């Protein structure tokens, strides 16, 4: 296992891409949607085929959850104390995720700064780009993480 990253280990422009990929299976897409986003384009193949997307698609929220999993399994380095989010600035789904798509994530460091209110932490602003097997972007998320500073005693 890699040594955990502290605030000082992040540099603007760094990119991280884990080896894990996630194949989006139709049954998993429907199961997630039935529980969390019960709309016909996610739950009913016949209704989805007749709809604007021409077939079943994954909920954007499922894509976001898969992105998080991929980030935690290598799309980000391990962070000292765990990954604690300060919020999501932007979340876009430019293309639908379909059954059989294989997703991967790449994360880029956009900004690194010390927290004004909690100087024992730094803030790391990231863009996580989730792509399908064809390299097409299916989700882009900009988020900020609280990351302990080295020697802060956390």
Domain ranges of the chain: 7-23+59-148
Query: Taking residues 51-59, what's their average pLDDT?
Result: 96
Which whole number is the average pLDDT over 94-100?
98
Domain 7-23+59-148 belongs to what topology? Thiol Ester Dehydrase; Chain A (3.10.129)
Report which of residues 84 and 17 the model is more confident about: 17
Res 154 pLDDT > 60: no
Mean of pLDDT values over 108-117? 95
pLDDT of residue 76: 92
The per-residue DSSP string of the chain comes to -PPPB-GGG--TT-EEE-S--EE--HHHHHHHHHHH---HHHH-HHHHHHSTTSS----HHHHHHHHHHHIIIIIS--BTT--EEEEEEEEE--S---TT-EEEEEEEEEEEEE-SS-TTEEEEEEEEEEE-TTS-EEEEEEEEEEEEPTTS--
Query: In whole numbers, what is the pLDDT of the chain averaged over residues?
Result: 94
């Amino acid at each position: 296992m890699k040594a955990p990253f502290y605030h000082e280990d992040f540099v603007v422009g760094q990119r991280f891409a884990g080896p894990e990929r996630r194949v989006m299976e139709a049954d998993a897409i429907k199961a997630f949607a039935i529980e969390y986003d019960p709309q016909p384009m996610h739950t009913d193949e016949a209704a989805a085929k007749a709809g604007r997307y021409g077939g079943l698609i994954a909920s954007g929220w499922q894509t976001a959850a898969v992105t998080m999993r991929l980030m935690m399994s290598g799309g980000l380095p391990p962070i000292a104390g765990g990954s604690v989010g300060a919020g999501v600035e932007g979340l876009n789904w430019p293309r639908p995720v379909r059954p059989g798509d294989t997703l991967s994530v790449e994360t880029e460091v956009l900004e690194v700064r010390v927290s004004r209110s909690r100087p024992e932490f730094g803030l790391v602003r990231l863009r996580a780009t989730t792509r399908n097997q064809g390299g097409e972007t299916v989700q882009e998320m900009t988020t900020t993480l609280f990351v302990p500073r080295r020697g802060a005693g956390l």
